[in-house]
Structure 1
Amino acid sequence: MRMLPFFLLWTLLNSTTAFSQQTANKPEREQWFMDMGLGMFIHWSVDVQLGAVISHSMAGASEQYLQRFTTELPQTFHPKKFDPEEWAVLAKLAGMQYVVFTAKHHAGFCMWDTQTTDFNVMHTPFKRDALQAVIAAFRKQGIAIGLYFSPEDFYYCYQHDIPIGRMQHPQHFPANNPGLMAYDKAQVKELLTRYGKIDIIFFDGPAEGLKEYAWELQPDIVVTRGQMRTPEQELPDQPVPGPWEACFTMGTDWQYKPTNDPQKSGTEIINMLIETRAKGGNLLLNVGPKPDGEIQTEQDALLRELALWHLANREAVAGIRPWHIIREGNIWFTCAKDSSAVYAFVSGGEAWKYGERKELVLKTLQGSSRTKVSVLGFGGQLVEYKKNFDAQVYVENTPIGLVISAVNGQRFYTNNKWPNPVVLKIEQVRYRPYTDHSTRAELEGAK
């Protein structure tokens, strides 16, 4: 009889544990996510054949349009040049440590072999589980796997006579629509039980009920949108505490847009990455493969420019944290996680030409006799074709700040006109605070 209370207590404790629900990302997984720095977003669905905005042309569309969209487009989806291993190799070169692929966008078309609906990639001439191929290719390159999933589902709404839009009708929210919630959960279960460990899930829409279910299925998964700040096409003015992710296109659209789509320059993309990391966020940079499965030439070229910059400067943007101040004027900062080094991003191009020496005064850095400065990627000994040229880095601690003299000496282009930032690694240095708030504001400047 004396064993009964202990048994009841044991049962109660275990019951409580069994029914407790995870309601947030694990802190250690959030720290892991913050280390990633850069990810590849891939928008690709059945309507890529039209070069239209992904999914959204269904919103407010006529019955005839919806009928053609849902029945005719799957009949012609056949990307004969689909090679996700090429995507993954390019992502790795560019420094992307995770991928987020559109498993299901708002249209409801599923890019995997699902049992929940015939509106999926297996019911096309392609007849291949695209998601499985993407996951295998990126895992092979050691890149973490993320899935984009829309809780809203335009095809479900179309089948159930619900007006199609984005969070404009109560039935657009799974929490208000038991049928849609069950449908979404069945799909999330497939995604999180058939493909091994999924590192990240991006719920683009009302995530209540679904993110908890995702954590139930895979407790280590990191929920980005739906749990953390994920601004699109803009950056916050100041650092954001904790994990966050900026989502940007290279051109003007997410999915492939064949016309009227000017792309950003490589320098703009690199500067965007630097600013995002200086403010503590990750950059999720989008590519929109063509209907045949190839990454469009312009975006491929931009990623290769990013890859060249990354080959020299990777340590300044991966596994780092924000410094005490995000920048001095146009010089941005990041900091090694263990505070052993500060990285200063200095404009290149016309502002600092190849083979030239430049002097800098960093007013917020306090050095010592042990302070060491190097140029990432450059050995600091020789500049090609220049005889008796002093390429050494000099550093001196002064009352007005840390004075650095360095040479931009690494040759990236034949014409020597590499337009992208040069990164200084500054070791054994401390923050030199400014108590005057107006001085700090002046240093950080206005964008």
Structure 2
Amino acid sequence: MARIFSFFLVLVLLSGIALAQNDVVTDAGSSEYNLNKPERVEWFRNTGSGLFIHFSMDSQLGIVISHALVGASKDFEDRYFNELYKTFNPYRFNPEELVALAKLAGMKYIVFTTKHHSGFCMWDTKTTEFKITNTRYQKDILREYVDATRAAGLGVGFYFSPEDFWFLKQHNIPIDRPVQPLSPELAKAYDDYTRQQCEELMTNYGKIDVLFIDGDPKAVVKETSWRLQPDILITRGAMKTPEQVLPGAQIDEPWLSCITMGTAWQYQPTNERYKSGGQLLQLLIEARAKGGSLLLNVGPKPNGELPIEQENRLREMAAWDFINHESMDSVRSWVVSHEQDIWFTSKDNRNTLYAIVTNAQDWREGTRKSFTLQSVKATPNTRVSVLGQNSQIIEYRDDDISCHYTQTAEGLEVSVVKAQRIYDDHRWPNPVVIKLENIEPTIARAVKVETLGSEPAQAGVTLHGVIHDYDGKVQKAYFYVRPFAGQVETLYVSPWEKTVEATVDKSGNFSVTSSELQPGQRYEYKAVAIQSGLSVEADSKVYQRRQR
């Protein structure tokens, strides 16, 4: 544990903590007013991923989109609003090429930034002069995106911010988040301004499939959009949209996580830290295994081209999707999301299972591996295969590469060979998907586990969890703990460390006191219950122990 803490401290000192477009967003659902149609929700649940595009005129500076205006000097504001946008010229923006790449990578819809918090409009609006058609580019870039996306058969999505710093500037209101309380007259003017922009977006560009509302107030945007486009699916504003994180547990209702390729939403040419293609695939797989989807963000350069680092990662994901798409499309969760490094998706009412082996970077081509799946049992008609290969022929060799399975007391043992040549060096490092047909789960459903609060104890910190609707069958539980490096960095800073096991009481409650949580540090922790030998995880919480 000490080694991991040391690594965490070094990482923080070297890299710092980066901020997201809305750093406090973890669950921005709003169910009190939700007119999403069931058939549209079902379409969304069947889509494994979408492409998010953050793009605005301040990409010229390679800085955070919009947020630098909060607390900025008058000189910064004046030059930002009066000069910077005039030099914006994404003359190399090729929506057909970008859309084709997104489709190849398995995305089913694209969400484009129509207006971020700065108020700069990426369409030819009549509401303001602060818009794309008043730049050197002069054209309506939003229309170009819409036409290309629709022509490719992908869902057309808009990102829209009702927060508008340009409006605040014009009315001498300090630029802040959240916006300071407005007078009734200004609040009405603000709503009218937002409504007029939404009416333009919802009437001038044909059918819009998806809307992502970022910021407040959302009510005017939702009302206008559903009134003019009854079939539109609103994500943020009507469902769970955790940002820069994945939920710790499976979620039954529809949700998406929007996550950046690096740390920045918009193009950041320097001091950026990209996730690898393998890490992005892990995010996609984990999201699908937990019942949601991934909205993966890219940020074009100011000239409109996609940075090569982002293009490369999308092409790596495209290769994986070309082989394994059926494990991501129109799938649902299994009874547990994963067993160690093997993640699960299923379809056909859990008659078909995809066991996704994520720790495959050292699995050499032509090598046989066996895996025991505790949550799976065979039937007389069970079949096993590996997606993408026929498991009959391997290049230049005459080995037995067929797939086998054996039902044991510990679970279903599956034996397969990685036999397809994807890279010239025979070292394709990305996940391998084993397809199991005509199988059954060993448990009808997993218990519902919740991570509760924590509190200082004489010997460290006491962590609490609970199993809901407890029937007495689960008798052991524990917690996972790791350093918390901030919302952007938390995904891959360090592995989870397991605490000692706890005994579950008659009400389903359990606790563990850990002496390894150090003063002054922040930690993530999540409760885990052991059910029929399977680990069932809850969502995580963050704890910071104060110095005594």
Normalised by the length of structure 2, the TM-score is: 0.75
- C-alpha separation in 2, matches of 1:327 and 1:407: 21
Q: 1:372 aligns with which of 383, 404, 409?
A: 383
User: 1:323 and 1:96 mapped to 2: Cα distance?
Assistant: 22
Per the alignment, in what secondary structure is the counterpart of residue 253 of structure 2?
coil
Distance between the aligned counterparts of 1:262 and 1:39, measured in 2? 22
Distance, in Å, in 2 between the alignment partners of 1:54 and 1:83 is 21
Check 1:171–1:225 CA distance in 2 against 1; reply closer, same or farther (3 A cut): farther
Q: CA offset at residue 144 of structure 1?
A: 0.3
Residue 368 of structure 1 contacts residue 397 of structure 1 at CA under 8 Å; is this kept in 2? no
Other-structure match for 1:180: 190
In 2, the alpha carbon distance for the partners of 1:365 and 1:442 equals 12
Tell me the distance in 2 between the aligned counterparts of 1:442 and 1:290.
Answer: 49
Gaps of 5+ in 2: 1-31, 447-472, 477-529, 541-548
Q: Secondary structure at the match of 1:28?
A: helix
Match of 1:45 among 56, 60, 67: 56
Taking the aligned partners of 1:342 and 1:175, their CA distance within structure 2 comes to 58
CA separation of 1:312 and 1:67: change in aligned 2, threshold 3 A: same
Matched, 1:429 2:520: no
Q: Greater CA deviation, 426-435 or 225-234?
A: 426-435
Partner of 1:165: 176
In the alignment, the residues of structure 1 paired with residue 532 and residue 301 of structure 2 have an alpha-carbon distance, to the nearest angstrom, of: 44
Q: CA deviation at 1:139?
A: 1.3
Deviation at 1:168, TM superposition (A): 4.1
Sort the Cα spacing of 1:245 and 1:419 in 2 relative to 1 into closer, same or farther, 3 A: same
For residues 64-103 of structure 1, what are the structure 2 equivalents within 5 Å?
64-103=75-114
Equivalent of residue 430 in structure 2, options 420, 424, 435 = 420
Q: Which residue of 2 aligns with 1:304?
A: 315
Q: Deviations over 1:211-233 (max 9, x none)?
A: 12211111111111111111111
**Are the equivalent residues in 2 in contact too, given 1:175–1:209 (CA < 8 A)?**
no
Separation in structure 2 between the aligned mates of residue 268 and residue 286 of structure 1, nearest angstrom:
14
Q: Shift of the alpha carbon at 1:399? A: 2.7
Match among 435, 443, 447 for residue 534 of structure 2: 443
Distance 1:394 1:269 in 2: 30
Distance of 1:335 and 1:165 partners within structure 2: 45
More strand by share: 2
Write the letter of the residue equivalent to 1:30. Answer: V
CA RMSD, Structure 1 to Structure 2 (Å): 1.9
Amino acid at match of 1:399: A
Q: Secondary structure at the match of 1:371?
A: strand
| Residue pair 1:107, 1:155 contacting (<8 A) in 2 also | yes
Query: Cα offset for 1:210?
Result: 1.9
Give the aligned residue type for 2:224: Y
Go from structure 1 to structure 2 and tell me whether the alpha carbon gap of 1:95 and 1:350 turns closer, same or farther (over 3 Å shift): closer
CA–CA distance in structure 2, aligned partners of residues 170 and 247 of structure 1: 29
Match of 1:259 in 2: 270
CA drift at 1:143: 0.8
Greater helix proportion: 1
Shift of 1:440: 3.1
Q: What whole-Å deviation, never above 9, does each CA across 1:93-144 have from its counterpart, x for those lacking one?
A: 1001010000000000000111111100000110111110011111121110
Return the offset for 1:442: 6.2
Q: Deviations over 1:48-97 (max 9, x none)?
A: 10001001111111221111001111221112211111110110110010
The alignment of Structure 1 onto Structure 2 pairs a total of residues equal to 425
Provide the TM-score with structure 1 as the length reference: 0.91
1:362 aligns with 2:379: no
> In structure 2, how many angstroms separate the alpha carbons of the residues matched to 1:363 and 1:324?
11
Are the structure 2 counterparts of residues 242 and 337 from structure 1 closer, same or farther at C-alpha, using a change threshold of 3 Å? farther
Query: What residue number does 2:24 align with?
Result: none
1:407 & 1:156 partners in 2: Cα distance?
A: 61
Task: Give the corresponding residue for 2:518.
Answer: none
